[in-house]
Structure 1
Amino acid sequence: MTARPPRRIATVAVLVADYGTAIRWYRDCLRLDLLEDVPLGGGKRWVVMGTPDGGARILLAKAEGPAQLARIGDQTGGRVFLFLETDDFDRDHAAMRAAGVAFLEEPRREAYGTVAVFEDLCGNRWDLIEPRSSF
């Protein structure tokens, strides 16, 4: 049994307009699993997407009020926000494009690996990356 580290970044919140639409997009386009969907009352839910391997997870947080609604898709001022690592860039790039993911550039080879920027359904920017020292 592997010991769990004493601390880790486990979950990142992403503002979304609608739970159902966001769940479908992250499931169908990024092939993430719905790990948790717990009603919290008042229309709120604890909705977590991720991979079954125990890596970082995404909490889909439904935006409330004008300030949060204005931040959907712009939580980092237009910079890349999240990084989706893969062990096969070409496979996942092709699958994501076929699923309708909007890539903002052609794949490029960098010193750290193969990468391309894409946007999620809300407009947040991500890197799809196959690190040079792949898995």
Structure 2
Amino acid sequence: MSYGVSAALQVAVFGALSADTVLDGLVAGAVFDAEPAGVLPASYVSLGAERVRDRSDATGAGALHEFDVSVVTEGDGFFAAKQIAAAVSDALVDAELALSRGRLVSLQFYKGKAAKVESGRIRRIDLIFRARVQDG
């Protein structure tokens, strides 16, 4: 197994989300690697947790990365959050991301969960993506 591609994958995913014009139009550049301190924007996207499993084979070291991308909005209802989540998905699914280390084999949506949080004031959609990578 190789965890060596993890940082390169994170940089590429963050770059793809930050550069997506549709997503930018919905969150005005509020794409974070970690939620910033202080007052948060009314809508934003944040990279989250990651789980990695070995997927090495006879051709070399590889891994399956499951990573979270969260959409958070203060708007009433889930409509705005779902529009943002769709833009995140459109930016990532089957994306041909260039990695500084290793190679992205595939990037797919795995599952998601929508919920009301903070006494129903906030809408949050947690999206989970699966990225298959090879190292070397």
Decide: shared fold, TM above 0.5.
no
Please give the range of the TM-score, normalised by the shorter of the 2 chains.
Answer: 0.3 to 0.5
User: Structure 2 length as normaliser, TM-score?
Assistant: 0.33
